[in-house]
A and B are shown apart, each in its own frame.
Chain A
Amino acid sequence: MSWAASITRPLARVWFVCLPCVSLVSCGSNTPKIPPELLAGGGCDSPNYPNGPFGTEEGDTLADACFQGFRNPAKVSHSSSSLETIAFADYYDPSGSKGYQLILINTAAVWCSACRSEHEGLPQKNQEYGPRGLRILSTLFQDAHRDPATLSDLSTWVKVYSSDYAMVLDPDYQLGAFASAETAPLNLIVDARTMKIEKKLLGDQATVIWPFIDASLAQP
């Protein structure tokens, strides 16, 4: 059990926001103010989500988190009117009724050329593995200057990379509990039936990620 495992769910949001003060994003005095509409207001209200304890390491249960973004950027305009609240809980599928087996949660930043390179290939992977039960959710957390990502950044990102998977803003870097804001990308592979973290990988480790996903989806 990780050091964070004793945290209960109602506290998870506070914990996610305030713990990563190692980053320059969450608590830095020079951080630009984040427009409230880009924060997932109202918190997560997903009563059927697994109970804690939650953690950040492999084998731990992922705490729920909510974001503003585009669930399928390929099907909507990339304006504020298309933003919707997207939660990890949306992909929780204990009975398999939604057809979700695995979730790939990925962080990205405009300054991060490795993230950008990774996203060039994600639409093809989504086409390949989506029908088999994979859902991809990527969180854009910083711009080219390491300031919090904005709707303009998100809109340009999904246009440039033809993103056809959930792409959301994480301007207050809720995923900072998993990796500092000074490194990217982070990839989490989560079991949609339990919301347990199956793999946690720093960097674009394609030779690990995709064989693991392929093998996992092959299991009943």
Chain B
Amino acid sequence: MASFGCGSESNPTSSPSTQPMLCEAPGYHVEAQAVVIEQVRATIRLPSGELAARLPVQVCGINNCFVDDTDDNGKLNVTPGAALVLPALKYGDGFDFAELAVPLGTEAKQDLGELVALPLPALSEGAKFPKSGALTSGDLTLHLDSKGSFEHDILTYSDDQLVFRSVPVPLADSPQALPARFGFELAYGVAPLGTTFCPTAKLSLKNTSDWAPGTRVEVFVQGLDVSEKWAPYGSWLSVAEARVSNDGSSIDTTSGGIPILSSIALRRK
């Protein structure tokens, strides 16, 4: 996905500009020891409580990926039996479900308990990407710079799938992917994953938690891409600061922005 950096002339979805802005991916790769992961187990449910049968999952390190599906009872049992660098379970496929990552640590055999897969809105409800301006799905609005560009992951998504979609992530249902130690209070899954913005996209969201006007907020994205060009894989990266609007209706970024479409989380400062 690194080749999707801003300023490339290879992607027809980039907005036209006489002097394309260049955004170099910061890169977050650090050397890490491989750990042997023998088995990863979990049960995945839908928000309704129904078991999520035949849901694709991946156990990926930055060096190797293993794919599987949950069984008819929503159970996953991935058995890599391999040395993985920064292993994480990724569940949700980024097409029908929001994708989240659970870092796996160093235990060879892990049972992650229950996970909840969050269905994304239907493609027909997604918002087409304008060349610039606002783009809204659910609670989230992205603001694309009038002189900027964006690039989609055209290997993963077909043209009709390149619409913005978001879904709130109930934090209580996803402690494995959104650990309590981060203090997150809001989270969202999005699609299409991997779209990069140059410059970063401003973010506004509905103040669904009724935070007080003027409250300062931190915005994070989760690294779902093993290339770690825009965020560390499996971890959360602070990418922007935001503030609750004076009328209390919205939370708007004040500095920084969204560099890549990936799962988003927020906490008050």
Contacts and interface: CB of A to CB of B under 8 A. Distances in A.
Contacts of B4: 160
A184 B154 CA distance: 20
A113 B63 contact: no
A120 B2 contact: yes
Given A111-B67, A160-B10, A203 B155 contact: no
Interface stretch (A39-47, A72-80, A151-159, A189-197): A151-159
A117 B66 contact: no
A161 interface: yes
B107 interface: no
Given A114-B226, A116-B227, A159-B10, A203 B156 contact: no
B65 A156 contact: no
Given A111-B58, A183-B82, A202-B82, A144 B156 contact: yes
A116 B155 contact: yes
Contact of B67 (A117, A120, A146, A204): A146
Contacts of B80: 183
Interface residues of B, number: 28
B60 A113 contact: yes
A120 B25 CA distance: 13
B10 A182 contact: no
B82 A160 contact: no
B69 to A, nearest CB: 9
B103 interface: no
Nearest to A180: B66
Nearest to B157: A144
A111 B155 CA distance: 9
A113 B64 contact: no
A184 B95 CA distance: 21
A116 B1 contact: yes
A182 B63 CA distance: 14
Nearest to A121: B2
A161 B227 CA distance: 13
Nearest to B228: A117
B154 A203 contact: no
A205 interface: yes
A184 B59 CA distance: 11
B261 to A, nearest CB: 15
A168 interface: no
B225 interface: yes
A113 B225 contact: yes
Interface of A: 110-117, 120, 144-146, 153, 156-157, 159-162, 182-185, 202-206
Given A116-B226, A204-B63, 19 more contacts: A110-B155, A111-B67, A112-B65, A113-B1, A113-B65, A116-B227, A117-B2, A117-B62, A120-B2, A145-B95, A156-B155, A160-B4, A160-B154, A161-B3, A183-B65, A183-B82, A202-B82, A203-B61, A203-B82
